């Protein structure tokens, strides 16, 4: 069993990006600039945004953080999005989700200029991804592809089961795993809360990508010997032994599943660090105008 070390790979990718940025700047080019909008004080969002700002420093990017209280109006937020669309110094920006209930996330996503949409959530980027055109691929699926690539995990012709059908992970992951590319060329099945033979599907899978948000859902009897298991779940489960009072728990019951796997990602330290690195890679592409002019 090989443990897929997302933390080590993410550090490696950040160093590669930093070297490229240093080269761009040395040639008199512009340093990539990522902006983030954060609304309210959600604990998870705060942690994520802080990690993104830190990653920008390591990669040599310029970063801006724009904060609003949770009672900001939708119109005020959309006005800021339009302002960032027009700001030539900002190469890419994100609006940290989730947003307060009175703001339409979809409206915000669609207002972002797709050429600066480094989260890869705009319908134009999603559409281009689904037909295999160059675009900003959303961060978590992109990070998973990077892990499969760096560990040279065979995907062609393999049976891949994706657990979950969210717009952020499940759907794009399924689309990417069946593209004519590496990693890809897999036979993909998407399972969700309405799937009848979910356990049987998992038992037949060479690769399981679990993105349900249900702690310890995937158990040993659902996984065949030698399978590759990618755990996207990060649920905060109460734990009195931890200083924070909780521990991050994946969708996979790691201790019992790991011995059966050829490769498995831990939680934390697997997919999570790669998500932030993917955002950095998209920002670099935006800075270089590599996808859209």
Paired with 95 in beta bridges are 37
Q: Is residue 169 helix, strand or coil?
A: coil
Active site residue 152: no
To the question of whether residue 275 is assigned a binding role by annotation, the answer is no
User: Which strand ranges, in their side-by-side order, compose the sheet holding 33-39?
Assistant: 62-68, 33-39, 92-95
Instruction: Give the contacts of 264 (CB within 8 A, at least 6 positions apart).
Output: 1, 2, 3, 4, 228, 229, 230, 231, 252, 254, 257, 258
Catalytic annotation present for 119: yes
- Number of other residues whose CB lies within 10 A of the CB of residue 150: 16
Annotated active-site residue in 14, 96, 117, 231: 96
Query: Measured on CA atoms in the order 32, 38, 44, 46, is the torsion positive or negative?
Result: positive
Q: Helices 271-287 and 139-150: crossing angle, nearest 10°?
A: 100
HEC string of 41-57 equals: CCHHHHHHHHHHHHHHH
Q: Which residues contact 144 (CB under 8 A, 6 or more apart)?
A: 173, 209, 230, 232, 271, 274
Beta strands at 92-95 and 187-191: parallel, antiparallel or unpaired: unpaired
Helix/strand/coil percentages in the chain, nearest 5: 40, 20, 40
Which of these, 217, 209, 226, lies nearest to 175 by C-alpha position? 209
45 labelled binding-site residue? no
165 labelled binding-site residue: yes
User: 235 - beta bridge partners?
Assistant: 249
Q: Is 2 among the annotated ligand-binding positions?
A: no
Q: Which of 5, 14, 52, 91 is catalytic?
A: 52
- Please confirm, yes or no, whether 251 is among the known catalytic residues: no
| Residues contributing to the annotated binding site for NADP(+) | 164-166, 234
| Residues contributing to the annotated binding site | 164-166, 234
So which residues are the catalytic ones?
A: 52, 96, 119
């Amino acid at each position: 069993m090989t443990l897929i070390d997302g933390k080590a790979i993410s550090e490696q990718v950040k160093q590669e990006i930093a070297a490229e940025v240093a080269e761009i700047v040395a040639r008199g080019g512009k340093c990539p600039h990522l902006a983030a909008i954060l609304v309210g004080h959600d604990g998870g969002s705060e942690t994520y945004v802080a990690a993104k700002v830190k990653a920008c420093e390591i990669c040599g990017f310029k970063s801006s953080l724009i904060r609003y209280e949770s009672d900001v109006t939708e119109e005020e937020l959309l006005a800021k999005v339009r302002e960032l669309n027009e700001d030539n110094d900002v190469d890419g920006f994100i609006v940290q989700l989730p947003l307060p209930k009175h703001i339409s996330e979809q409206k915000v996503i669609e207002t972002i200029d797709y050429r600066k949409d480094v989260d890869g959530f705009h319908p134009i980027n999603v559409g281009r991804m689904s037909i295999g055109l160059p675009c900003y691929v959303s961060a978590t699926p992109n990070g998973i592809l990077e892990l499969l690539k760096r560990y040279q995990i065979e995907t062609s012709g393999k049976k891949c089961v994706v657990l979950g059908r969210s717009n952020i992970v499940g759907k794009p992951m399924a689309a990417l795993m069946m593209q004519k590319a590496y990693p890809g060329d897999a036979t993909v099945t998407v399972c969700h809360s309405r799937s009848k033979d979910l356990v049987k599907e998992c038992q037949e899978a060479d690769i399981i990508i679990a993105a349900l948000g249900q702690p310890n859902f995937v158990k040993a009897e659902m996984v065949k010997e030698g399978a590759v298991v990618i755990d996207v779940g990060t649920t905060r489960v109460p734990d009195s032994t931890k200083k924070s009072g909780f521990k991050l728990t994946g969708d996979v019951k790691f201790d019992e599943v790991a011995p059966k796997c050829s490769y498995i990602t831990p939680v934390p330290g697997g997919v999570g660090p790669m998500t932030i690195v993917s955002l950095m890679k998209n920002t670099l592409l935006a800075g270089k105008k590599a996808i859209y002019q």
